[in-house]
Chains A and B, each alone.
Chain A
Amino acid sequence: MAEHHVTPIRTYVYVFLALLVGTGLTVLAAEFDFGLFNNFIAMAIAITKALLVLYFFMELRQSTRMTALTAAAGFFWLVLMIGLFLMDYGTRMAVVLPVPGK
């Protein structure tokens, strides 16, 4: 009754190894200070790992469009929440009031 084909063990193992490599990479990258890029690199690695898990382990590549849309909507909503929160916090400038007479 399995309407989708069975993923070979090899595929799972390769994904597993890729995830381990990713973990090692992120630990390694953290040792260096890339300034503004620190966050970007860490998140890029994490997002790639998450996509691997979603796509292969959670079988998104064999799922219906509805399922993929649901997963995407969930993550998008989180990004929306963080983004709009930052819109407030990021635009609050420290105001230095002029001292009269100076």
Chain B
Amino acid sequence: MDIAPVTSTAETAETAFERPNYLNAAYGWKSWLLTLDHKRIAILYLISVTAFFALGGIFAGLVRLELLTPEGDLMGPDTYNRVFTMHGIIMVFFFLIPAIPAVLGNFLVPLMVGAKDLAMPRLNLASWYVYNLGGLFTLWSIVHGGVDTGWTFYTPFSTSYSNTYVISTALGIFITGFSTIFTALNFIITIHRMRAPGLSWFRLPLFIWSTYATSLIIMLGTPVIAITILLVGLERGFHIGIFDPKLGGDPVLFEHMFWFYSHPAVYIMILPAMGVVSELVGHFARKKVFGYRVVAFASVAIAVLGFLVWGHHLFVAGESVYSATVFSVLSMLVAVPSAVKVFNWTATLYEGSISYQTPILYALGFIGLFTIGGLTGVMVATLGIDPHVHDTYFIVAHFHYVMVGGTIMAYLGGLHYWWPKMTGRLYSVFFSKLSALLIFVGFNLTFFPQFILGYLGMPRRYWSYPPEFQVLNVLSTAGATVLGVGYLLPICYFAWSLKYGAKSGNNPWGAVSLEWDTTSPPPTENFYTTPVVTHGPYEYVREDVHNRLTQEANFE
């Protein structure tokens, strides 16, 4: 049973779909590969990131398969090192960092600010090609055996001892970094200078605020990983000794430089996800997001504070205890704006008129799972706890809760919400809700046991473990299987919907934000006439609230 589409006044879903839009504006591969339309570029990115997600998922499956038994029987230890390293590199650099900004951001930013396109469309297309060029280098490395250093590339192993294709992988990451910088630059100048008439900063959707804050992080942080990874390549190639102690260098300097970017990188992954959740919560509760300005400022606060905490990755690396204390305190501080957002979403849902469609299911899942992940983050920021759980599965569970339970859930929620906007099609309600359930159950079954495993002392990145840990590992692998099925289903029913899905009409959700004021799918120029904005993005008029307030007023 599919949702009865709510169409705009005059036309049916059929006629809305048949209008000239960005999908039927031109056909042929050149019209896609040389497009300057941000919406088409978003679709191109959708294909690329999905492909990398699948590849990263295969590596994850191999890890979980090996860990089914305590002995290392599926593969040797060197191979296992390569498998978990490539899982990390692909997921972090080629999926989690680009996904929401490059797919949802590219599609929605011009629509949400009322512009015809991003400020620099050619730069946008270039960013997709650069992304794929970086991906190509990394794929080449994988074909030749991958890298075994861990996605963190710690020196001097990566520079002096590893026998794998470190340089080509490093090059791939270096190149892909430019892709995110181009996208972020485009977003910042578009949001600053191309808002429609009447669209003041505080009438912007919270997704735009999050995307803006994310873009700030990208501009300030990505160049540092670029230079760091360049130095790793140079040291490996020319034996120059910046990070190798035998040559007078300092490996801790590498860790500082690496984490100076890589910690803000996790906020690059989570902030857009929070932006999506703000949208979903507001629109599916049919209420203004509670404390709009506070949520907006919290996004910027997370971006800024996120740069001041990287030292918590070096607590056991030889960092001075004074420095560690400062970083510990700052790390707890950065949890505050994130918590504020969770409170505000909850307050938005309270007394909301919630319609339990698939997108809000993902958002609700996000709120719960991100809270758990975030709280365990505060735990590991504590100097008394971290030395015990560092490099154990506790850490692995912590970051998977925020990255998978957080970012990926929000990404899927956003895809399910904006799919009709992007394609003009509806997907199967049954299968989408089933997937959401499978993903939620599978995820928790996979990663909750890992908290326990880590606390009990199982180290991470080991290809074998003591037999007493097997039960929890089996549970984890079972969960991973369920999770895998949950992830496969959307690929199937989304693809199916492109050909057989019901036409959605312009606004199947009845949402009131600017991107829904145009057709679904939108025309190439986004809006038929330049919109003039007179209200915020969550202005819902609700009969029940209106009646209650009127009654209360009449009593006086």
Whole-angstrom distance from the CB of A31 to the nearest CB of chain B?
A: 29
User: CB-CB < 8 A to A93: which residues of B?
Assistant: 320
Whole-angstrom distance from the CB of A78 to the nearest CB of chain B?
A: 9
Over the window 65-102 of chain A, the binary record of Cβ atoms lying under 8 Å from chain B Cβ atoms (1 yes, 0 no) is 01000000110010011001101110111000000000
Over the window 319-337 of chain B, the binary record of Cβ atoms lying under 8 Å from chain A Cβ atoms (1 yes, 0 no) is 1111100100000000000
B30 proximal to A (CB < 8 A): no
B224 proximal to A (CB < 8 A): yes
- Return the contact of A91 from the options B192, B220, B323 (Cβ within 8 A): B323
- Return the contact of A88 from the options B192, B224, B256 (Cβ within 8 A): B256
Q: Is the interface of B mostly helix, strand, loop or mixed?
A: helix
Q: Are B320 and A91 in contact (CB under 8 A)?
A: yes
What's the Cα separation between A81 and B192 when bound, in Å? 26
User: CB-CB < 8 A to B192: which residues of A?
Assistant: 66
Whole-angstrom distance from the CB of B199 to the nearest CB of chain A?
A: 17
The total of chain B residues at the interface (CB under 8 A) is 15
User: CB-CB < 8 A to A85: which residues of B?
Assistant: 256
Whole-angstrom distance from the CB of B267 to the nearest CB of chain A?
A: 15
What's the Cα separation between A92 and B256 when bound, in Å? 15
- Return the contact of A81 from the options B260, B314, B321, B323 (Cβ within 8 A): B260
What's the Cα separation between A46 and B389 when bound, in Å? 46
User: CB-CB < 8 A to A87: which residues of B?
Assistant: 322-323, 326
Q: Which residues of chain B in 309-323 are interfacial with respect to chain A, using CB atoms and an 8 Å cutoff?
A: 311, 314, 319-323
Over the window 2-44 of chain A, the binary record of Cβ atoms lying under 8 Å from chain B Cβ atoms (1 yes, 0 no) is 0000000000000000000000000000000000000000000
Q: Are B311 and A84 in contact (CB under 8 A)?
A: yes
The total of chain A residues at the interface (CB under 8 A) is 14
User: CB-CB < 8 A to A89: which residues of B?
Assistant: 320
Of B314, B323, B326, the most chain A CB neighbours within 10 A belong to B323
Of A73, A74, A91, A93, the most chain B CB neighbours within 10 A belong to A91
B370 proximal to A (CB < 8 A): no
Instruction: Given A77-B307, A81-B224, answer yes or no on A88-B323 (Cβ-Cβ < 8 Å).
Output: yes
What's the Cα separation between A80 and B310 when bound, in Å? 12
B308 proximal to A (CB < 8 A): yes
Give A87's nearest chain B residue, CB to CB.
Answer: B323
Q: Which residues of chain B in 484-522 are interfacial with respect to chain A, using CB atoms and an 8 Å cutoff?
A: none
Name A residues whose Cβ lies closer than 8 Å to a Cβ of B. 66, 73-74, 77, 80-81, 84-85, 87-89, 91-93
Name B residues whose Cβ lies closer than 8 Å to a Cβ of A. 192, 220, 224, 256, 260, 307-308, 311, 314, 319-323, 326
Q: List 28 A-B contacts (CB under 8 A).
A: A66-B192, A73-B220, A74-B220, A77-B220, A77-B307, A80-B307, A80-B308, A81-B224, A81-B260, A84-B308, A84-B311, A85-B256, A87-B322, A87-B323, A87-B326, A88-B256, A88-B311, A88-B314, A88-B319, A88-B320, A88-B323, A89-B320, A91-B320, A91-B321, A91-B322, A91-B323, A92-B320, A93-B320
